[in-house]
């Protein structure tokens, strides 16, 4: 299989399957409850966060692994909106990943319409952010087109206006170099099951910069964020550190898989990973220009490598039918409504020859009629 969906669900790290088996047999089966301490389960959410930190340009103690990206967005956004005094707008972008916008819509209702949701065009985002903005929520790399925002410049603009900004890094971490600390980013979330290879349903991560952790007020005040968790006190007191972003008992099996996903990056510089991503993507775009353009494929991703994440998307009026024919030919690239055929580029396990073979398969399909049979099918719920 030629797998171009590592930006949706990353591949299984070889070490994960054997270790998860061992965790189940020995730590759960043998150690039982003792393993919370003996096998370090208790500290795993923080350990995974510390392991993710260097991949996003953060420091140890600024990241924990917990909950889903959607829930982490909710946690951060409520906390920040609660602190907002008289600012009225919440800014996001058209074409953002739906869950991000849905969460904000829910929050506007939760706060009794105190805030107005502004869904700006991506290229006009900066103009939509001003002294009346209570919160900005943006996704760094767009899930459809792979277009990347200038994260550092937008963050600097927000910081200059005293506007809190949350970045969704789901399509960035493990895909492009990030320097959250250097760029002045204070809040971010992202998932671990894409480029970080953490496995299906793996817990997401949440980043709060060191200099704002002390003033950050958790809103889902569960016992894993208590200052004295095993004191079982009657009343809530938040802990001081990044653990204040935790809520309840973490999913240990999934967290162990996340550790293996992140370990795939051991000894690698993200700049080298990005160089290979660019080389593979350039090859894909060049070959598509040569062999697919006359079959009505247009490049939907930015052509400048530094303006996109680690994916190349094409528009085609029959993208769904073509994606199904490609799958039948052993090339997994996905369809995103309405007309996008999306190739995730995962430099850790993708070769140049894979790009060549995928384009060759696609050109072969377009030269024939096999894809036409898929025209009448309804898009799968999960593709
Ligand atoms: C940008 C972005 N945010 C969030 C999510 C999903 O969030 P969750 O982990 O809550 O399902 C995705 C999933 O593809 C995504 O692409």
What is the reported pLDDT for 371?
79
| Mean pLDDT, residues 297-311 | 96
Mean pLDDT value across residues 128-136: 96
pLDDT, tens digit, 9 for 90 and up, residues 175-196: 999 999 999 999 999 999 999 9
pLDDT category of residue 375 using cuts at 50, 70 and 90 = confident
Q: What distance separates the 2 farthest-apart alpha carbons in the chain?
A: 70
The 10s digit of each residue's pLDDT in 202-222 is 999 999 999 999 999 999 999
CA 252 to CA 263: how far, in whole Å?
17
Active site residue 193: yes
pLDDT tens-place string over residues 152-172: 999 999 999 999 999 999 999
- For ligand 1, whether the C-beta of 101 sits within 6 Å is no
- Residue 99 alpha carbon, nearest atom of ligand 1: 4
The CA distance from 196 to 171, in Å, is 10
87, 144, 194, 276: the active-site residue: 194
pLDDT at 77 over 50: yes
At 78-110, the pLDDT tens digits run 999 999 989 999 999 999 999 999 999 999 999
Whether residue 111 is predicted with pLDDT greater than 80 in this model: the reply is: yes
With bands split at pLDDT 50, 70 and 90, how would you rate the model's confidence at 271? very high
- How large a percentage of the chain has pLDDT more than 70? 98
Q: Is 201 helix (H, G, I), strand (E, B) or coil?
A: coil
Is 194 among the residues known to form the active site? Answer: yes
Give me the mean pLDDT over the 100-127 stretch: 96
Q: Does domain 14-263 have CATH number 3.40.50.150?
A: no
Task: Please give the CATH architecture assigned to the domain spanning 268-373.
Answer: Alpha-Beta Complex (3.90)
Contacts of 100-103 with CB under 8 Å at 24 or more apart are 100/73, 100/137, 100/139, 100/168, 102/70, 103/70, 103/73, 103/74, 103/77
pLDDT in tens, 10-36: 999 999 999 999 999 999 999 999 999
Taking the C-alpha atoms of residue 370 and residue 231, their distance in angstroms, rounded to an integer, is: 65
- How does strand 165-168 pair with strand 205-208? unpaired
Q: How far apart are CA 323 and CA 336, in angstroms?
A: 10
Q: Residue 381 above 70 pLDDT?
A: no
Least confident residue range of 47-51, 70-74, 363-367? 363-367
SS3 15: helix
Is pTM beyond 0.85 here?
Answer: yes
Q: Where are the domains of the chain?
A: 14-263, 268-373
CB-CB contact of 279 with 86 (8 Å): no
Dihedral angle over CA of 231, 233, 236, 238, nearest 10: -20
**What mean pLDDT is reported for the chain?**
96
Any catalytic annotation for residue 47?
Answer: no
Which residues does residue 92 pair with via DSSP β-bridges, in sequence order? Answer: 119
Establish whether 132 is a catalytic residue: no
pLDDT surpasses 60 at 53: yes
pLDDT at res. 383: 46
Measured from the CB, is residue 204 less than 6 Å from ligand 1?
yes
Atom in ligand 1 nearest the alpha carbon of residue 204: 9
């Amino acid at each position: 299989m030629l797998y171009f969906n590592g930006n949706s669900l990353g591949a299984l790290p070889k070490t994960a399957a054997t270790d998860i088996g061992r965790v189940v047999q020995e730590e759960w089966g043998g150690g039982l409850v003792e393993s919370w301490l003996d096998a370090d389960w208790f500290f795993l959410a923080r350990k995974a966060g510390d392991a993710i930190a260097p991949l996003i340009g953060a420091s140890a103690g600024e990241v924990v692994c917990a909950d889903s990206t959607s829930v982490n967005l909710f946690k951060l956004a409520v906390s920040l909106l609660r602190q907002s005094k008289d600012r009225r707008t919440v800014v996001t972008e058209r074409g953002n990943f739906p869950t991000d916008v849905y969460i904000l819509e829910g929050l506007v209702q939760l706060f009794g319409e105190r805030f107005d949701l502004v869904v700006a065009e991506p290229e006009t985002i900066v103009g939509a952010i001003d002294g009346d903005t209570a919160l900005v929520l943006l996704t760094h790399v767009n899930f459809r087109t792979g277009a990347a925002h200038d994260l550092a410049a937008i963050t600097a603009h927000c910081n200059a206006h005293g506007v809190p900004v949350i970045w969704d890094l789901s399509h960035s971490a493990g895909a492009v170099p990030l320097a959250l600390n250097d760029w002045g980013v204070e809040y971010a979330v992202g998932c671990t099951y894409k480029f970080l290879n953490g496995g299906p349903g793996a817990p997401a991560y949440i980043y709060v910069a060191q200099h704002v952790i002390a003033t950050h007020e958790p809103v889902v005040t569960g016992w894993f964020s208590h200052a004295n968790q095993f004191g079982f006190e009657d009343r809530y007191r938040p802990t001081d550190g990044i653990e204040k972003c935790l809520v309840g008992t973490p999913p240990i099996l999934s967290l162990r898989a996340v550790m293996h996903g992140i370990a795939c990056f051991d000894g690698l510089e993200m700049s080298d990973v990005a160089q290979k991503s660019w080389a593979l993507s350039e090859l894909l775009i060049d070959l598509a220009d040569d062999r697919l353009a006359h079959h009505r494929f247009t490049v939907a991703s930015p052509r400048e490598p530094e303006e996109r994440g680690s994916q190349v998307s094409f528009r085609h009026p029959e993208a769904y039918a073509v994606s199904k024919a490609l799958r039948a030919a052993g090339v997994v690239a996905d369809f995103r409504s309405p007309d996008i055929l999306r190739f995730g580029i995962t430099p850790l396990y993708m070769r140049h020859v894979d790009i060549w073979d995928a384009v060759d398969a696609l050109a072969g399909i377009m030269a024939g009629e096999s894809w036409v049979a898929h025209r009448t099918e309804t898009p799968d719920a999960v593709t």
